[in-house]
């Protein structure tokens, strides 16, 4: 091939980018995307926060456009070449490109190609790395789909796991679950985009990764054992914190006993010596009909609650693990009573207001169609009650009443109730204990019986002892005073 023909090949290749609209579009798209990606990196380095969608645009949308433009460039060249064939141009002008590095023009051309390729690969590598970490971040999980994830993200931020990334619990280590989660995420994005999702969003009880792969990366029964005191406080009828109803219990956390190697207490349920399995009659696992316990010797005992609907014969057995009791470890929704009590005991609501507990409780548990209606309704309910029943007090304590109404909406109602998403009080109960739902009593009800007549007991002292005043003082000492006052 002559030098003139070889030169024409380079002209054809370059002409493919600029003579084809597709090629020009690819060049412009790639160039603009690369510039915007670098600009976004620069703004991030200097601490500029453009909001929750900054990461979406920088690490997902712009890289996709960058690659899309790169793909269009050779397609544009190919279309120009095909057009040359159709017009019957010289065959020499459309022969395959021959690399001849002895030619200076070839060396310059491929040098430029290699330089641009290195730059493109560097940009793609950097943005892919950042994109991976962005999709694993709490901001991505909690703020990107704000309207849908706001309830869970709000609850997460006030939980004991507020500094633990979402993926640590929802995905855990390993590539298989990472891939599975991303595929599931694509379906969820589509559901959110189309508005085709359940309201309220159901608790993800199915297809959960075993707790031993996630929870026990930080927690494990062997490290949490023995007895632990816990104090519960409730506001008395008149709302005076000094008259708070106090219940102190000693929880038999149990776990592995170092001396004997045996498991006892609450954590006996997840010991390695005893296998506890169950099958439920409902999808939410609230109606547990069958419980099977297999001891270290391999002997199995089946406990059945006969008055429950039957479970299909082919229904799988679930091995009990942490989340069967700790089902809301990072997304805890308060009960209305506990929420009101806590704000009164913390001094956020003036306890001197007569009957304030019942007034705030009635105002916040009323049914409202929207957030705006709730905000106005709660304010009117609280202020209106004292205006009617205690007119003199209303004038004297007006500022306290306004503050109580603000706390009732912002700190009690708003973090727990989302009318637009179908989330009300106790939509997502906690199974830890038995304060707000059946919890432990799903199995420990004295009604699950084995053929031998043995039953799963409901005795309180299986899990805890209620402490007397003397036992409180002995177990808690000065800590009890700190808890109470």
Domain ranges of the chain: 3-135, 138-197, 221-322+447-484, 336-421
Rounded Cα distance between 172 and 121, Å, is: 29
CB 353 within 8 A of CB 400: yes
Rounded Cα distance between 415 and 370, Å, is: 14
Q: If DSSP codes are grouped into helix, strand and coil, which group holds residue 402?
A: helix
**What predicted TM-score, i.e. pTM, was given to this entire model?**
0.73
Tokens 């209305």 sit on residue: 336
CA nearest to 423, candidates 204, 200, 203, 205: 200
CB 329 within 8 A of CB 321: no
Q: Give me the residues paired with residue 255 across strands.
A: 264
CA nearest to 80, candidates 18, 30, 10: 18
Q: What is the DSSP letter of 467?
A: P
Extract the residue ranges of the chain whose pLDDT is less than 50.
1-9, 91-93, 481-485
Q: How far is CA 128 from CA 40, 45, 67, 178, 358, in A?
A: 14, 17, 12, 15, 55
Determine phi and psi for 11, rounding to 5 degrees: -65, -35
Rounded Cα distance between 52 and 41, Å, is: 15
CA nearest to 11, candidates 67, 115, 86, 84: 84
CB 39 within 8 A of CB 32: no
CA nearest to 28, candidates 76, 69, 79: 69
Q: Which residues lie closer than 8 Å to 85 by C-beta, 6 or more apart? A: 94
Tokens 């991976």 sit on residue: 132
What is the reported pLDDT for 448? Answer: 94
Angle value at C-alpha 38, between 35 and 39, nearest 5 degrees: 85
First vs last Cα of the chain: how many Å apart? 95
- Please give, one letter per residue, the 3-state secondary structure of 138-198: HHHHHHCCHHHHHHHHHHHHCCCCCCCCHHHHHCCCCHHHHHHHHHHHHHHHHHHHHCCCC
What is the reported pLDDT for 247? Answer: 82
Q: At what angle do helices 21-45 and 62-87 cross, to 10 degrees?
A: 160
CB 405 within 8 A of CB 382: yes
- What is the rounded radius of gyration, in angstroms, for the C-alpha atoms of the chain? 33
Q: Give me the residues paired with residue 228 across strands.
A: 251
Rounded Cα distance between 349 and 107, Å, is: 78
Largest CA distance in the chain: 105
What is the reported pLDDT for 288? Answer: 92
Q: Give me the residues paired with residue 245 across strands.
A: 234
Q: What is the DSSP letter of 461?
A: G
Rounded Cα distance between 110 and 122, Å, is: 18
Rounded Cα distance between 328 and 322, Å, is: 10
What is the reported pLDDT for 401? Answer: 92
Rounded Cα distance between 229 and 249, Å, is: 6
Residue 140, CB-side half-sphere exposure with 13 Å CA sphere: 20
Tokens of 236: 């008395």
Q: Which residues of 21-31 are buried (b: 16+ CB within 10 A; e: fewer)?
A: ebbeebbebbe
What is the reported pLDDT for 143? Answer: 78
Rounded Cα distance between 333 and 268, Å, is: 27
Determine phi and psi for 113, rounding to 5 degrees: -60, -45
């Amino acid at each position: 091939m002559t030098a003139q023909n070889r030169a024409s090949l380079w002209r054809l290749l370059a002409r493919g980018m600029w003579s084809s609209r597709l090629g020009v579009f690819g060049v412009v798209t790639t160039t603009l995307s690369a510039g915007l990606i670098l600009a976004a990196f620069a703004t991030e380095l200097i601490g500029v926060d453009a909001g929750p969608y900054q990461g979406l645009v920088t690490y997902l949308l712009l890289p996709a456009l960058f690659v899309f433009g790169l793909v269009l460039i050779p397609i544009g060249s190919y279309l120009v070449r095909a057009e040359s064939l159709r017009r019957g141009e010289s065959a020499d002008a459309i022969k395959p490109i021959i690399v001849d590095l002895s030619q200076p023009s070839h060396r310059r051309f491929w040098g430029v190609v290699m330089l641009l390729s290195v730059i493109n690969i560097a940009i793609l590598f950097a943005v892919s790395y950042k994109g991976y970490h962005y999709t694993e971040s709490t901001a991505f999980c909690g703020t990107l789909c704000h309207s849908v994830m706001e309830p869970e993200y709000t609850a997460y931020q006030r939980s004991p796991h507020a500094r633990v990334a979402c993926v640590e619990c929802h995905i855990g280590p390993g590539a298989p679950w990472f891939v599975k989660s991303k595929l599931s995420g694509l379906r969820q994005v589509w559901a959110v985009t189309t508005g085709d999702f359940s309201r309220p969003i159901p608790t993800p009880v199915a297809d959960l990764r075993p707790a031993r792969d996630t929870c026990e990366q930080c927690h494990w029964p062997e490290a949490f054992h023995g007895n632990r005191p816990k104090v519960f406080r409730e506001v008395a009828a008149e709302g005076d914190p000094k008259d708070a109803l106090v219940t102190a219990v000693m929880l038999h956390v149990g776990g592995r006993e170092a001396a004997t190697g045996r498991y006892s207490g609450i954590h006996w349920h997840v010991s390695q010596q005893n296998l506890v399995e169950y099958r439920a009659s409902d999808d939410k696992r609230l109606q547990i009909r069958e419980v099977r316990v297999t001891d270290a010797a391999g002997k199995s005992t089946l406990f059945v609650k006969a008055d429950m609907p039957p479970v299909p014969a082919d229904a799988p057995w679930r091995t009990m693990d942490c989340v069967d009791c700790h089902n809301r470890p990072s997304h805890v929704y308060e009960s209305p009573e506990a929420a009101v009590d806590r704000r009164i005991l913390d001094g956020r609501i003036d306890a001197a207001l007569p009957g304030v507990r019942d007034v705030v409780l009635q105002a916040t548990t009323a049914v409202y169609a929207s957030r705006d209606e709730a905000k106005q309704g709660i304010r009117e309910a609280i202020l209106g009650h004292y205006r009617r029943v205690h007119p003199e007090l209303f004038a004297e304590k007006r500022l306290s009443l306004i503050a109580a109404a603000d706390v009732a909406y912002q700190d009690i109602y708003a973090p727990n109730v989302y009318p637009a998403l179908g989330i009300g009080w106790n939509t997502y109960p906690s199974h830890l204990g038995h304060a707000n739902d059946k919890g432990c009593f799903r199995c420990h009800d004295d009604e699950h019986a084995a053929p031998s007549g043995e039953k799963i007991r409901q005795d309180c002292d299986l899990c805890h002892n209620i402490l007397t005043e003397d036992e409180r003082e002995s177990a808690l000492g000065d800590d009890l005073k700190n808890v109470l006052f």
